[in-house]
Structure 1
Amino acid sequence: MRKILVVGAGQAGLQIALGLQSQGYEVTLMSNRTADEVRSGRVMSTQCMFHTALQHERDLQVNFWESQAPKIEGLGVSVAGPTVSDSNEGSRVIDWVGKLDGFAQSVDQRVKMAGWMETFAQRGGQLVIHGAAVSDLDYFSRTYDLVLVSAGKGELVSMFERDAARSPYDTPQRALAVAYVHGMGPRPEHPEFDAVRCNLVPGVGELFVMPTLTTSGRADILFWEGVPGGPLDVFQGVKDPSEHLALTLELLEKFTPWEYARATKVELTDAGGTLSGRYAPTVRKPIGQLPGGGLVLGVADVVVANDPITGQGSNSASKCAASYLDSILSHGDKPFDAEWMQTTFDRYWETAQHVTKWTNAMLSPPPEHVLNLIGAAGQLQPAADRFANGFNDPSDFENFFYEPEKTGAYLAGLTG
């Protein structure tokens, strides 16, 4: 029986641990918090998982909240016009909703990670509550066949060298601010189905609104992504949750009044329902070397951390976990050496590279042909639907998004 240590109990670490456990591996999972501490703590993220990522959870039979979480059937895009001003006459120059081929869902990671940790322990897994340092891993690497590092923050990440060729940014490209709320009104357009809303405010940032399942039931996430130094970059140092929400709503009223109209009666889901911060999107080399010479393999956002502007974090973590799990299972009893680690990452990168390319493109002001595409989707439902489904499979953007010629040919094919 092969012994594997997974460090970090997020989407990827838990998914791999549960998957290996179901195949009879001896798995130890290290988490710096207990399930109860996770559940009663602060929100950790925004997350909207699309069909492919959700299917990986179904395949492992750990999709425990599927019947409770809102089924997100659409993805809408609005672009604020230049008339947005203090007088609240904000208008949208673009506004449409694309339909998803398979529904998406968002489950607050406090709910999911706590539940998965308890499941792992109930099924006989060894759950160690301990914040791991490099020195700990140095010791453990001698007693395990493989050590996977899926803790995306802190000291452990520094073991993985930044891949400069794949990381165009060295500073954060957005200031992030999240609030989980109850009491959001329905969307005036297509209220009959749930959709994620992506509101683009040129030169200022983006507002995402997504239905979710949290510790207290159905809720919505209000998520601002502000250009650093701009009018949305005002959450640093705001510690009080109610002040955070008031600021969130003030910005909604000013920059996205059509969303503010739905949000006049909202309240925070709980005292832990806010989050703010920023980080530089970074791709890292996948193999970390310990002081004693042992090797560890980085997982998910330890090695590929994208800005959340394209909503890919949890999706990428799920896809990385599924890919790594397959690579481990198909390797049999051969050693998990550096060559295997690199090959395993390279296989995941075939998927992840499309996410990184698309996300980095969305962080820049859109070129004219992309504006034309987003505008045309308002009149051409197939274009809206295809753009929405790109969130599930970002590799499709290669076919119609990046190059003006391909975009033009695609739109001409729809209108011809």
Structure 2
Amino acid sequence: MRRIAIVGAGQAGLQLALGLRAAGYEVTVVSARTPEEIRGGRVLSTQLMYGPALALERELGLNLWDEETPPVEGMRISRVEAPGAAAPERAVVAALDEPARSVDQRVKTARWLELLEERGGRVEYRQVAAGELAALAAGHDLTVVASGHGPLGEVFGRDDRHSPYRAARRALACVYVHGARPDPGLPPSYLRMCGFQEAGEFFVLPALTLSGPCHILLWEGRPGGPLDCWDDVPGPGAALERSWQLLRSYAPWEYERCAGAEPADAGAVLSGSLVPVVRHPVAEVAPGSYVLGMADAVVLNDPVTGQGSNNAARCAGRYLSSVLARGERPFDRAWMHETFAGWWEHARHTTAFTNMLLDAPLPEHVQHILAAATEHPELAHRYVNGFADPADYQEWLMDADRAEACLAAVSGRVAG
């Protein structure tokens, strides 16, 4: 039986571990925290997952919360021209072809850790230093690093070809709440996003947390701007109070819907920042001994497009298929690069799309597309559903000539 070690117990590492265990592999996961510590800690992300990623969970029987989790059935994406202005009348609004879902990572990863042990997997609860990877690799047929936090991520060198940033592009803060009201003009299951000129973005999305269905309020503030105000790492109550203050000034209509909200629990807040980066996927940890990086450990995107858990699920699915297809042959360096390349073929589109939305102003052709999408439902539908598979954007959004051709086709159909 082949022995595989996975360092990191998030979406990617645990999904891969459970898939391998189901196929009969001997799997050891190293987790920095126990299930009890995870459930008792702060929230870890916003983790909105779209249809293709959810399908990968369903294939492994890991969709344990479908009945409890409120579906996200569509989006409303609007642009606010000035603080305190009236609610935008024009927006990109469309239904998702398949509902998305957001399950608090504390709920999911804690249960998945328990499930792995119930199914015969081994879990070691401890921190792993970069210097320990060589010993792990020596004791296993394959070692995968699924955690990019701290020095572990530094093991994989930065890939400057795909990493344009040296500093964070957004200051991030989210708070999980009960009691937020829906927009009366939308189905209650829709995600709402407001973009503020030169300031950043605000999102409201349905989710499931430890105490049941909730909403997540997410802020993405441009560095140095008025929404970059989370350095003091506030608790849930203070984060909600600050959210109210910002909404009174920037989106009073959203303040009215969130004014009666309260934090979901004592750990229902997260704030900080990250530097988007793509790293080389394979690291030599001892002469001739290599480890393979996965998901956020080697491709870390800003959450403005909600792709983190989707990237993780797709990476786990790709790596699982590659391991199973390898049979008894060695997991050598060439195989590792080939395995990553198979996932990067998708992940590169996610990175390109996310980085484009981080920069200001948007390319002119993208501004044209989004303006037209407020008037043409078919264009709005294609844009909104592209979040489920950003590879589609290459066909019509990311390239100026293709975008203009798409606009001409839509205008021609309307005129005809």
Amino acid at match of 2:353: W
What residue in structure 2 maps to residue 91 of structure 1? 87
Cα deviation digits, residues 386-406 of structure 1 (max 9, x gap): 011100110111122123332
For 1:387 and 1:208, the matched residues in 2 are separated by: 17
Amino acid at match of 1:391: F
Q: Quick check: 1:73 aligned with 2:73?
A: yes
For 2:114 and 2:231, the matched residues in 1 are separated by: 34
For 1:300 and 1:89, the matched residues in 2 are separated by: 40
What residue in structure 1 maps to residue 11 of structure 2? 11
What residue in structure 1 maps to residue 398 of structure 2? 402
Alignment length, in residue pairs? 411
**Aligned 8 A contact 2:85 2:250 in 1:** no
Find the residue that maps to 2:258 and give its secondary structure.
Answer: coil
Q: Of 335, 351, 358, which aligns to 1:356? A: 351
What residue in structure 2 maps to residue 318 of structure 1? 313
**Aligned 8 A contact 1:175 1:278 in 2:** yes
State the Cα distance separating 1:291 from its structure 2 match: 4.1
What residue in structure 2 maps to residue 250 of structure 1? 245
For 2:383 and 2:78, the matched residues in 1 are separated by: 13
For 2:230 and 2:162, the matched residues in 1 are separated by: 29
Q: Of 211, 214, 220, which aligns to 2:206? A: 211
Residue ranges of structure 2 left out of the alignment (5+ in a row): none
**Aligned 8 A contact 1:80 1:93 in 2:** no
For 1:119 and 1:314, the matched residues in 2 are separated by: 19
Matching of residues 64-213 of structure 1 within 5 Å: 64-82=64-82, 84=83, 88-92=84-88, 94-191=90-187, 193-213=188-208
Find the residue that maps to 1:104 and give its secondary structure.
Answer: strand
State the Cα distance separating 1:292 from its structure 2 match: 5.6
After the TM superposition, list the runs of 4 or more consecutive aligned residues in structure 1 that deviate by more than 4 angstroms: none
**Aligned 8 A contact 2:172 2:220 in 1:** yes
**Aligned 8 A contact 1:281 1:305 in 2:** yes
State the Cα distance separating 1:322 from its structure 2 match: 0.2
For 2:323 and 2:92, the matched residues in 1 are separated by: 43
For 2:320 and 2:33, the matched residues in 1 are separated by: 24
What residue in structure 1 maps to residue 260 of structure 2? 265
Q: Quick check: 1:56 aligned with 2:30?
A: no
**Aligned 8 A contact 1:81 1:93 in 2:** no
State the Cα distance separating 1:407 from its structure 2 match: 1.8
Find the residue that maps to 1:351 and give its secondary structure.
Answer: helix
For 2:50 and 2:402, the matched residues in 1 are separated by: 25
Matching of residues 219-368 of structure 1 within 5 Å: 219-291=214-286, 293-364=288-359, 365-368=361-364
State the Cα distance separating 1:156 from its structure 2 match: 1.0
For 2:90 and 2:301, the matched residues in 1 are separated by: 26
For 2:182 and 2:191, the matched residues in 1 are separated by: 12
Amino acid at match of 1:55: A
For 1:376 and 1:122, the matched residues in 2 are separated by: 52
Matching of residues 19-30 of structure 1 within 5 Å: 19-30=19-30
Amino acid at match of 1:67: E
Find the residue that maps to 1:260 and give its secondary structure.
Answer: helix
Amino acid at match of 1:111: V
Q: Which shows bigger deviation, 107-116 or 398-407?
A: 398-407
Alpha carbon RMSD of aligned pairs, Å?
A: 1.2
For 1:281 and 1:108, the matched residues in 2 are separated by: 22
Cα deviation digits, residues 370-401 of structure 1 (max 9, x gap): 22211211211111110111001101111221
State the Cα distance separating 1:201 from its structure 2 match: 0.8
State the Cα distance separating 1:332 from its structure 2 match: 0.6
State the Cα distance separating 1:93 from its structure 2 match: 5.6
Cα deviation digits, residues 97-137 of structure 1 (max 9, x gap): 21111111000000000111111011111111011112322
State the Cα distance separating 1:252 from its structure 2 match: 1.7
Amino acid at match of 2:70: P
State the Cα distance separating 1:90 from its structure 2 match: 3.4
Amino acid at match of 1:312: Q
Residue ranges of structure 1 left out of the alignment (5+ in a row): none
For 2:101 and 2:277, the matched residues in 1 are separated by: 26
Find the residue that maps to 1:277 and give its secondary structure.
Answer: strand
State the Cα distance separating 1:41 from its structure 2 match: 0.8
For 1:413 and 1:261, the matched residues in 2 are separated by: 40
